[in-house]
Amino acid sequence: MRVPLSFARRLDVVQPSVTLAMNARAAELRSKGEDVFAFGVGEPDFEPPQFVLDGARAALEKGVSKYTAVTGIAALKEAVCARTTKVRGWTPKPNQVTISVGAKHALFNLALALYEPGDEVIIPAPYWVSYPEQVKMFGAQPVIVETDEASGFKMKPEAFAKAFTPKTKAVILCTPSNPTGSAYNESELRALLEVWKKSDAWLIVDEIYADLVYDGFKHTSAATIASDLLDRIVVIDGVSKTYAMTGWRVGWSITPPALAKKLDVVQGQSTTNASAIAQYAAAAALTGPQEAVEQMRATFEKRRNVMVEGLRSIPGVSCRMPEGAFYAFADCRSLYGIPYNGKPIANDEDVAFFLLEKAHVAAVPGGAFGAPGYVRFSYATSEDRIRGGIAAILKAVEAAKKA
């Protein structure tokens, strides 16, 4: 008798994604000719600026088609350092930069290089779905620090301090945040860093949305504030959001040189280098004219206003005005009790599926981000589509309440 095939038990701790079921249902609706408002995707609807495409084309014409160094081409590493100096206010060196296959890959490499069974990693909630799952994959334990809308979904220093134990290996911060769009200003970040400085933990700061901030908000990099502790600060960034280059898959980590060497080992035994063509395109993005980037940012700001105002127009729904990214995080608990599929809506997942089925609006339930009762709406789409989706929600809610 054959022994049943087995799989690595490390995957048993990974939570299945509810968004996969939602995406499948949305695809099914589209296949039937239905118009679905895509408010779930974390992807700009713009094309990359022309100078980025020109950079990729020029690389192709030069015959760039071979392996590069594992951690990236020199031109891109230098561009990352120069851009970091200009817009983040601190100056790393090329030997601190590891170019990876997107920022998610950079975070995964870090998890493999840093976390071990018994370690704890502090993560404020709401959080991006992959943070705790990557921690758990390597036997470590995510320690979740709860926040609330009243605090702007920002971690308070007192709560942060209570989360530390002798087992704390790292802290993961995302500012501006996915899913809330919240961002720490300089004084708020300084207060958190004063707490962190008393520990021996790594600080991993995801700055992938740092260029997409609104209303004059000024992003401050933790590496600028805590320049005396760069030996245990990691910054994650990439070109996906700022330059609308999600599919090009180029992100990076900036780490102390000793950690960069470990990441070289990790990546050398997995993907090796990121796509050569994509690396040259990313270098063109960072060194080219930035007017198109500002135009995209300004467009996102207008869309944010339309989305938040629209969500607030839905009876009982509240939505905080986010400082950055391209997500609105709405409290939808007022929709609990509305009849759906023969029973009252009972949670945020029910809300999300109700919106998909009755309004053809695809959004992501907040439970996936550690925030039950909320729903994330992406405004990475046109103002007309946003208004159309809001109108569809209002119509569906009104009809359900009359049923």
Residues 261 and 385 in one domain: no
Number of domains in the chain: 2
- Tell me the C-alpha distance between 156 and 195, whole Å: 10
pLDDT in tens, 239-248: 999 999 999 9
**Of the residues 269, 287, 305, which one is the last residue of a structural domain?**
287
Q: What is the pLDDT of residue 151?
A: 95
| pLDDT for 144 | 98
Tokens of 149: 């809308």
pLDDT of amino acid 348: 96
Do 124 and 256 fall into the same domain? yes
Q: Is residue 374 part of a domain?
A: yes
List the single range of 21-35, 217-231, 248-262 with lowest mean pLDDT.
21-35
**Could you tell me the pLDDT band of residue 177, with boundaries at 50, 70 and 90?**
very high
pLDDT in tens, 86-127: 999 999 999 999 999 999 999 999 999 999 999 999 999 999
Q: State residue 98's pLDDT score.
A: 98
pLDDT recorded at residue 337: 95
Question: Is 90 exceeded by the pLDDT of residue 48?
Answer: yes
Same domain, 104 and 90: yes
What's the pLDDT band for 21 if we cut at 50, 70, 90? confident
pLDDT digits (tens, 9 = 90+) for 139-149: 999 999 999 99
Residue type, 83: R
Domain boundary among 240, 264, 287: 287
Distance CA(177)–CA(179), nearest Å, equals 6
Mean of per-residue pLDDT scores for the chain: 96
Same domain, 206 and 73: yes
Closest of 389, 398, 395, 392 to residue 40, by C-alpha:
389
Strand order in the sheet with 318-319: 318-319, 327-331, 374-378, 364-365
Phi–psi pair at 330, nearest 5 degrees: -105, 135
- Tell me, yes or no, whether 59 lies in a domain: no
The average pLDDT across 254-259 equals: 98
Separation CA 132–CA 145 (nearest Å): 12
Single out the residue of 107, 84, 96, 89 nearest to residue 186, CA to CA.
89
292 or 26, greater pLDDT = 292
Residue ending a domain, among 265, 287, 309, is 287
- Rounded CA-CA distance 26/37 in Å is 9
**Residue 196 banded pLDDT, cuts 50, 70, 90:** very high
What is the model's pLDDT at position 12? 87
Name which residue leads in pLDDT, 273 or 27. Answer: 273
CA distance 202 to 131: 15
| Beta strand pairing call for 343-344 and 339-340 | antiparallel
Average pLDDT (305-316) is 96
What is the residue range of 319's domain? Answer: 9-47+292-402
Angle 249-254-256 from CA coordinates, rounded to 5°: 145
Question: Is residue 176 one of the residues assigned to a domain?
Answer: yes
pLDDT for the residue numbered 27 = 86
Is 88 found in the same domain as 16? no
**pLDDT at position 403 over 90:** no
22/80 same-domain check = no
Q: How far apart are CA 27 and CA 30, in angstroms?
A: 5
349-391 pLDDT, tens digit per residue, is: 999 999 999 999 999 999 999 999 999 999 999 999 999 999 9
> Residue 173 — very low, low, confident or very high, per pLDDT cuts 50/70/90?
very high
Residue 2 inside a domain? The answer is no
Q: pTM for the whole thing?
A: 0.95
24 pLDDT more than 90: no
Same-domain pairing of 312 and 196 = no
Same domain, 103 and 221: yes
Tell me the CATH number at 171.
3.40.640.10
Span 78-92, mean pLDDT? 97
Rounded Cα distance, 379 and 40, in Å: 9
Query: CB of 124 within 8 A of CB of 150?
Result: no
- Per-residue pLDDT at 60: 95
**CATH number reported for the structural domain that contains residue 332 in this entry:** 3.90.1150.10
What is the per-residue pLDDT for 25? 85
